[in-house]
Amino acid sequence: MTDSPGWATPGSEPSDGDRSGAPADRPGPAAQPPAPPVQPAQPPAQPAAGPKWSAEQPPPGQWSSPAPGQQAPPQQPPQGAGWGADRPQPGGPYGGQYGPPQQGGPYGYPGGPGPWGKPPAAKPGVIPLRPLGLGEILDGAVATMRTHWRSVLPITLVVATVVQVISLFATKFMMDDLIITADADMTPADAINALGTTLSVTVVTQFLQYLGTIVVTAMLTMIFSRAILGQNSSISDAWRDSRAQLLRLIGLTALLGGGLIVLAIVLMLPAILSESIGLIFLGLLLWVVLAAWLGTLFSLASPALMLEKSGVFKAFSRSAKLVKGSWWRIFGITVLTAIMAAIISAIIYYPLSLIGLFGFGGGLDALQDGTATTAWGTLIFSAIGLIIAQTIVTPFQSGVTVLLYVDQRIRREALDLELARAAGVENYGTTGG
């Protein structure tokens, strides 16, 4: 991996317990040499070649060797000791139950909880460089949106606005002559015409949404990758870093979506031909299960494609490799994120849609005569609601996906060492970190 956010293709995948890339000779607390024994009648021996001791040694009279010909003074307990006069008071040089370790001392880590504890993980950016919990993943996505909003929000706002404006005019002019009512006198030809027009509008709007989502996902992935390193990223930087992979990301998304459609056809076609309602529900249920499994298995393909600069099929393979053994965890976090995004979108979208319908779209009368779906007031306020919702929800979901990818690589491939090096964290991974 280089210092840029476009991470190189990793090597082999070790197990969670055997993290390749970590230094084999990383010293831990148990590897520190013991203090030299006190020799009362001899001058202190010269230290042998080995690890360098810190310059901040304990004050004289506690752990230093006596001068030649001088007996070692007896150790006196400090004043105010706990269990009586013979118990050392907390605050000794060894940390742990005797107080915090001395800064830079040989038996403790700077800022660590004690000599035998692990120091806090480095955090150059929005997440600590260690395996992440659910709260840290969600908080990292929100922190990136809050800290780097000058890059995140304009991207999603502009793309969402363009998509919704085009969708608004497409809906208005393609469905303007279509009257959808609950009239029982509607002929089969009218029903087929209404269904065809509705499907055409749906295809156009979903295609625009599909292209916009790909562009946003590609650029936001690069912004999140830099935010992990504590680096800022402008809109131009995000576009420059992501544009080379845009066509591949389009192909990856189309291949995944097309595969799910083909799977649905294969599962539902026999049931439709046999005209069996039971088989239709069984096929639908089986499709939902397989779609959830495949969607989770390949959920990390997009960040793998963008950050490793790989091909489409290599990205699918990398995602399956990273998800293996953690499917339920990634599935649960993805579902929770989708539920949160749906709630946020509903809170924003539906009030504005109701304002457009009852304030400017004709209200209940428009619903009855079928003109509500093409009224300017309804369309405009619905578009505004979607723009605001997508501006907030899209970067949140993209951020969770990127952080899940990073978390899995930290757990399996010791990516934290590479991230620390790229972020300029000195001595990370060589002092027990």
pLDDT in tens, 338-379: 999 999 999 999 999 999 888 887 778 777 776 777 788 888
> Can you give the pLDDT at residue 431?
53
Within a domain: 88: yes
Would residue 195 count as lying in a domain? yes
Is 207 contained in some domain?
yes
Predicted pLDDT at 199: 78
Give the residue among 382, 390, 385, 364 at the shortest CA–CA distance from 172.
382
Domain endpoint, select from 95, 120, 145: 120
**Same domain? 229 vs 154:** yes
345 and 314: one domain? Answer: yes
Domain shared by 277 and 197, yes or no: yes
227-272 confidence digits (pLDDT tens): 999 999 899 999 999 999 999 999 999 999 999 999 999 988 888 8
Q: Are residues 108 and 143 in the same domain?
A: no
In a domain, 68, yes or no: no
* Domain range enclosing 308: 134-414
Total structural domains in the chain? 2
Q: Are residues 228 and 314 in the same domain?
A: yes
Residues 402 and 285 in one domain: yes
Would 369 be classed as within a structural domain?
yes
- In-domain check, residue 312: yes
Regarding whether 275 and 139 lie in a shared domain, the answer is yes
Closest CA to 54 of 122, 113, 102, 114: 102
Q: What is the pLDDT of residue 251?
A: 95
| Domain match, 170 and 315 both | yes
Domain end call among 59, 92, 120: 120
Residues 242 and 103 in one domain: no
382 within domain boundaries: yes
96 torsion bin: left (phi>0), alpha (psi -120 to 50), beta (else): left
381 and 314 within one domain:
yes
pTM for the predicted model, two decimal places: 0.70
Residues 106 and 223 in one domain: no
Answer yes or no: is 419 within a domain. Answer: no
* Domain end among 120, 143, 178: 120
Residues 145 and 183 in one domain: yes
Residues of the chain predicted below pLDDT 50: 1-6, 8-32, 34, 40-41, 44-67, 70, 72-117, 432-433
Taking Cα atoms as reference points, which of 20, 231, 8 lies closest to residue 125? 231
pLDDT at 332: 97
pLDDT of residue 204: 81
- Three state DSSP letters for the chain: CCCCCCCCCCCCCCCCCCCCCCCCCCCCHHHCCCCCCCCCCCCCCCCCCCCCCCCCCCCCCCCCCCCCCCCCCCCCCCCCCCCCCCCCCCCCCECHHHCCECCCCCCCCCCCCCCCCCCCCCCCCCCCCCCCCHHHHHHHHHHHHHHCHHHHHHHHHHHHHHHHHHHHHHHHHHCCCCCCCCCCCCCHHHHHHHHHHHHHHHHHHHHHHHHHHHHHHHHHHHHHHHHHCCCCCCHHHHHHHHHHHHHHHHHHHHHHHHHHHHHHHHHHHHHHHHCCHHHHHHHHHHHHHHHHHHHHHCCCHHHHHHHHCCCHHHHHHHHHHHHCCCHHHHHHHHHHHHHHHHHHHHHHHHHHHHHHHHHHCCHHHHHHHCCHHHCHHHHHHHHHHHHHHHHHHHHHHHHHHHHHHHHHHHHHHCHHHHHHHHHCCCCCCCCCC
